[in-house]
């Protein structure tokens, strides 16, 4: 039997960086078609800001193993919609996940394949359990980076397809200085 080596790493709780992790950067141009206000999207695309970064320590896609990753989701809006991650189902749809809030404020939109949505607010110390089969997207509703840790099965994978096409049934927007979760005009059953 070949055993893997255990690993301990210190997450930088100010920046979200995990030493030795693989870094992924998502700019606004990577989120084409995701925001409802296309005019506001095109306008902000001139700056093409970084929307989020992911620092991941991932294993081979094998049953029983675990991956973990921090996400640094920057503050900002496209029109009235707060910056968010793409959002996905897991390719192995029955794989669950745990999120843990580290810094900043935001929340998670979750959704079943039938379009039943839930919004869970997150701050430092919040644990969110993502059950099997639920799509999940995080949203920064604050004015500083929203940083969190995700722990997920190594064979979960990411299925971005249907969210990229139809989005979530709800949008998280600013209305008169308040955070509101409203129906998405893009959502069709």
Ligand X SMILES: O=C(CO)[C@@H](O)[C@H](O)[C@H](O)COP(=O)(O)O
Contact region with Fe ion (CB under 5 A), list: 30-38, 66-74, 79-87, 91-99: 91-99
Contact region with Fe ion (CB under 5 A), list: 24-32, 74-82, 96-104, 168-176: 96-104
Among ligand X, Fe ion, none, what binds residue 71 when CB lies within 5 to 8 Å by partner kind? ligand X
Q: Which is nearer to ligand X, 136 or 170 (CB)?
A: 136
In residues, how long is the chain? Answer: 189
CB-side neighbour CA atoms (13 Å) of 99? 25
E-strand spans in the chain?
22-27, 50-57, 66-73, 77-78, 81-82, 97-103, 106-111, 117-122, 127-130, 135-140, 146-153, 170-175, 178-183
**127/100 Cα distance (integer angstroms):** 5
Is 54 among the residues that bind ligand X (CB under 6 A)? yes
Is 156 among the residues that bind ligand X (CB under 6 A)? yes
Contact region with ligand X (CB under 6 A), list: 82-90, 101-109, 167-175, 178-186: 82-90
* Residues near ligand X (CB under 6 A), total: 14
Is 23 among the residues that bind ligand X (CB under 6 A)? no
Is 88 among the residues that bind ligand X (CB under 6 A)? yes
């Amino acid at each position: 039997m070949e055993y893997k080596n255990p690993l301990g790493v210190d997450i930088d709780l100010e920046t979200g960086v995990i030493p030795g992790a693989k870094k992924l950067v998502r700019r606004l141009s990577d989120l084409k078609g995701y925001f409802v206000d296309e005019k506001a999207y095109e306008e902000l695309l001139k700056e093409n800001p970084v929307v989020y970064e992911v620092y991941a320590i991932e294993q081979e896609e094998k049953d029983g193993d675990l991956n973990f990753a921090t996400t640094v989701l920057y503050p900002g809006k496209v029109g009235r919609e707060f910056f968010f991650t793409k959002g996905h189902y897991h390719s192995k749809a029955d794989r669950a996940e745990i999120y843990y809030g580290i810094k900043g404020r935001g929340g998670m939109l979750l959704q079943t394949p039938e379009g039943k949505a839930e919004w869970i607010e997150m701050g430092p110390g919040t644990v969110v359990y993502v059950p099997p089969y639920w799509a999940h997207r995080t949203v920064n509703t604050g004015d500083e980076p929203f940083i969190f840790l995700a722990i997920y099965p190594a064979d979960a994978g990411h299925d971005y397809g249907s969210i990229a096409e139809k989005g979530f049934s709800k949008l998280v927007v600013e209305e008169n200085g308040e955070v509101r979760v409203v129906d998405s005009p893009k959502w069709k059953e």
